[in-house]
């Protein structure tokens, strides 16, 4: 599932390739990713427009056009590929348009950009500046911007009875984090994922704030995490999967303390953590009793 580092990697690749090119023509092959827009409306609004810039906010990508933008959310398995319009006959190569390709943009200068999505939870549609503004307004701060402060983060967590794992996945608290980077940030901060937001100490909040930024920066530097479906627009895999410390490592010894990494359900998501490195809040119950789903691991 693409999160901030993967979407940012895509943005950087596309920023080198797309600005200045015109959408000469386009094909839509499936209506679902465009909803509530119709295929005809999408084609009408995008055709003939020039791509001005490629921007990212949270897990959203925006291809800014002369009028409005193409909004892309990759959902679970969405991919954007840019390729020369003359395709070599390389059967089976992932980046070639196939039955999972829902939208193809034919760009000036001999390039195609296409949106591929096996599970079809992704979105691509044309939005006005006003619609984009409404969408962005609902999102919390960008974690790598100066708007994400320890004090703002603390305020967003106070009086929240939900787990810190759920709060990190809440895009209104902080934008762009999903399951992988939530688990990795919590591990690096030494905070148990089941800890309730309101019970976090200022020291824990501060450590978590730092670890979120470090993990995301490091993941961007390694071009994101490829576990199965994530590829950049040039069909390259990410490299951060080798650096994951807990995500996907359940049953393996913790790299820090050799305790076995656990996978439990927290915030309805499979959550990877080390019970020794991530002790619970300093109260009678500890993380084990707070985690109701402990008896029901994913
Ligand atoms: Zn450990």
Is position 3 annotated as part of the catalytic site? yes
The pLDDT, as a whole number, for residue 229 is 87
What pLDDT digit, counting tens, does each position of 88-138 carry? Answer: 555 444 445 788 999 999 999 999 999 999 999 999 999 999 999 999 999
User: Checking DSSP bridges between strand 123-127 and strand 101-107, what pairing results, if any?
Assistant: unpaired
Residue 255 Cα to ligand 1 midpoint, Å, equals 7
Banded model confidence at residue 35, pLDDT cuts 50, 70, 90: very high
9-63-97-179 Cα dihedral, nearest 10 degrees: 40
Contact criterion met (CB below 8 Å) for 46 and 128 = no
Alpha helices (H) along 50-140:
129-137
**What pLDDT does 297 receive?**
40
**Average pLDDT over all residues of the chain:** 91
Q: How many angstroms separate the alpha carbon of residue 297 from the centre of ligand 1? A: 19
In angstroms, the CA 93 to CA 257 distance is 42
Active site residue 59: yes
| 253 alpha carbon – ligand 1 mean position (Å) | 8
**Does 5 participate in catalysis according to the annotation?**
no
pLDDT at residue number 149: 98
Query: Are 117 and 77 in contact, with CB atoms under 8 Å apart?
Result: yes
Collapsing DSSP to helix, strand or coil, 144 comes out as coil
**Prediction pTM value:** 0.90
Q: How far apart are the first and last CA of the chain?
A: 18
How many CB atoms lie under 10 A from the CB of residue 167? 22
Mean pLDDT of 72-89: 84
> Taking Cα atoms as reference points, which of 201, 186, 192, 184 lies closest to residue 245?
184
Q: Which tokens belong to 62?
A: 């925006």
Alpha carbon of 184 to ligand 1 centroid (Å): 12
Please tell me the distance between residue 244's alpha carbon and the centre of ligand 1 in angstroms: 13
Mean pLDDT calculated for residue range 22-32:
93
Residue 28 pLDDT exceeds 50: yes
- Return the pLDDT at 89: 52
Residue from 2, 33, 143, 193 carrying the catalytic annotation: 2
DSSP secondary structure letter of residue 268: T
pLDDT band at residue 286 under the 50/70/90 scheme: very low
Check pLDDT > 70 for residue 293. no
Q: What does the pLDDT read at residue 85?
A: 76
Number of CB atoms found within 10 A of residue 89's CB: 6
Examine the pLDDT at 209 and tell me if it is beyond 60.
yes
What number is the average pLDDT over the span 202-231? 96
Strand, coil or helix: 174:
coil
Which residues sit opposite 163 in a β-bridge? 196
**pLDDT for residue 241:** 97
**Is 235:250 a contact under the CB 8 Å cutoff?**
no
DSSP string, 184-206: HHHHHHT--TTSBGGG--HHHHH
Banded pLDDT at 282 (limits 50, 70, 90): low
pLDDT for the residue 98: 84
Residue closest to 23 by CA, chosen among 86, 87, 78, 67: 67
> With 60 as the cut, is the pLDDT of residue 290 above it?
no
Task: Pick the catalytic residue from 59, 125, 207, 249.
Answer: 59
Q: Is residue 141 annotated as a catalytic residue, yes or no?
A: no
Name the strand (E) or helix (H) holding 263.
strand 262-266
Q: Does residue 247 surpass a pLDDT of 50?
A: yes
């Amino acid at each position: 599932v693409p999160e901030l580092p993967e979407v940012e990697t895509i943005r950087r690749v596309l920023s080198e390739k797309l600005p200045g090119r015109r959408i000469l023509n386009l094909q839509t092959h499936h209506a679902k990713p465009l909803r509530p827009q119709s295929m005809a409306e999408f084609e009408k609004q995008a055709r003939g427009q020039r791509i001005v810039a490629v921007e990212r906010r949270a897990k959203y990508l925006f291809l800014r056009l002369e009028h409005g933008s193409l909004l892309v959310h990759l959902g679970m398995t969405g991919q954007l590929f840019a390729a020369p319009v003359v395709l070599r006959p390389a059967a089976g190569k992932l980046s070639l348009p196939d039955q999972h390709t829902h939208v193809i943009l034919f760009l000036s200068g001999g390039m195609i950009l296409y949106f591929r999505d096996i599970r079809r939870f992704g979105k691509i549609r044309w939005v006005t500046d006003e619609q984009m503004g409404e969408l962005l307004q609902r999102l919390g701060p960008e974690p790598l911007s100066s708007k994400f402060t320890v004090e703002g983060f603390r305020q967003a967590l106070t009086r929240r009875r939900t787990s810190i794992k759920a709060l990190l996945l809440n895009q209104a608290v902080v934008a762009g984090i999903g399951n992988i980077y939530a688990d990795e940030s919590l591990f690096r901060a030494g905070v148990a994922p089941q800890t309730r937001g309101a019970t976090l100490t200022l020291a824990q909040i501060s450590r978590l704030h730092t670890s979120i930024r470090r993990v995301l920066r490091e993941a961007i530097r390694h071009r994101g995490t490829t576990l199965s479906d994530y590829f950049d627009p040039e069909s390259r895999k990410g490299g951060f999967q080798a650096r994951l410390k807990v995500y996907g490592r359940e049953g393996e010894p913790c790299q820090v303390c050799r305790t076995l990494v656990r996978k439990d359900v927290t915030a309805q998501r499979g959550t990877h953590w080390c019970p020794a490195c991530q002790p619970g809040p300093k109260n009678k119950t500890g993380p084990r009793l707070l985690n109701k789903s402990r008896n029901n691991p994913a």
